[in-house]
Amino acid sequence: MIDRLRQMAIFVKTIDHGSFRGAARELRLSPSVVSHHISQLEEHLGVALMYRSTRKLALTHEGERLLMASRKMLEAVEGELATLSVSARDPSGELRITLPSVLSQSPLTDTIAKFSKTYPRIRLTLNFSDSRRALIEGGFDIGIRMGPGVKKSPNSTLLFKVGRKLVASADYLSTRETPSDPNQIRDWDWLALSTAKHDSLTFRKAGCALVKVRPEACISANDAQALYRLARQGTGLAVVPVFLAETDVADGRVSFVLPDWTLGEIDVFAEWPENAPRHGLIHLFLGELSIGGDRQRQTATSAPETE
């Protein structure tokens, strides 16, 4: 029976990853061992569970039935084990998390550090990347994402919002007249993220009509931190998360441009695999991030004219 349970678990992981190789990587087995276990399960049941090709795996009718039953079994077992782990005085385990690289400079990193100090037996692997990494294929437990309008789903949650500001260096602004309206900066030198260089910006101010500006970027980059450093060196205007510029603004090296006008906030949200246990380390971690997010919102709103 123990062998069958193990084979069923390997079967589920194989379907989740869509390949023997993906399942083998997470389970720390060789692809041949994964294939062997599934073949043994098929031989024991006397049915084919999946059709294999060089590109993909396709479930048979019997495979779909077994997948549903196996998921229920694993969720029940993992849920109980996770509950025991979290309810223990000293939770342990491993969490693999992928995050946008710009958040390495945000208060979120401090919140993660506090979590690690509170639960020292939970091993954290943080992957800060400019590319959005897939959860299942990348072997991650949690993905922290940034973007407008997070969609509600059972396996995602909004953590906090990040204000954005238009910034430029003091040296750059010294060569220009101080603007009072977004229309006055349309022909200035603009820097933009590569993924958003064709997007328009909507400026808002109480008592004024919305102003949309579609800047023509003279420099685009795929990294928000690099973009900000370029702006800080006097190459032009850039829209960046407020937390990147706060220290330099306080020092007078950088200024918020059009401080009375606001831009839309960016959602920071988390997502996790659909088959993750409802209790356990993932939700323990997300709970701490949500608390930290409240502090981050307070910090953001204390900055001058945060969006």
Q: What is the pLDDT at residue 54? A: 65
Q: 197: which 2 tokens?
A: 């260089």
Strands (E), the chain: 50-52, 57-59, 93-100, 122-129, 142-147, 156-162, 164-169, 190-193, 201-203, 211-213, 217-221, 238-241, 254-256, 266-271
Q: What is the pLDDT at residue 131? A: 84
Domain 164-256 -> CATH class: alpha beta
Pairing of the two strands 238-241 and 211-213:
unpaired
CATH number of 2-87: 1.10.10.10
Inter-axis angle of helices 224-232 and 242-251, nearest 10 = 20
Per the CB < 8 A criterion, the answer to whether 123 and 94 are in contact is yes
Q: What is the largest CA-CA distance in the chain?
A: 80
Q: What is the pLDDT at residue 128? A: 94
- The parts of the chain modelled with pLDDT lower than 70 are 54, 82-89, 149-150, 277-279, 291-307
Domain 98-161+266-302 -> CATH class: alpha beta
Q: What is the pLDDT at residue 298? A: 45
Count of C-beta atoms within a 10 Å radius of residue 294: 11
Delimit the CATH 3.40.190.10 region(s) of the chain. Answer: 98-161+266-302
Q: What is the pLDDT at residue 98? A: 96
Closest-CA residue to 303 (of 253, 232, 236, 255): 255
Q: What is the pLDDT at residue 82? A: 66
Per the CB < 8 A criterion, the answer to whether 100 and 144 are in contact is yes
Delimit the CATH 1.10.10.10 region(s) of the chain. Answer: 2-87
Delimit the CATH 3.40.190.290 region(s) of the chain. Answer: 164-256
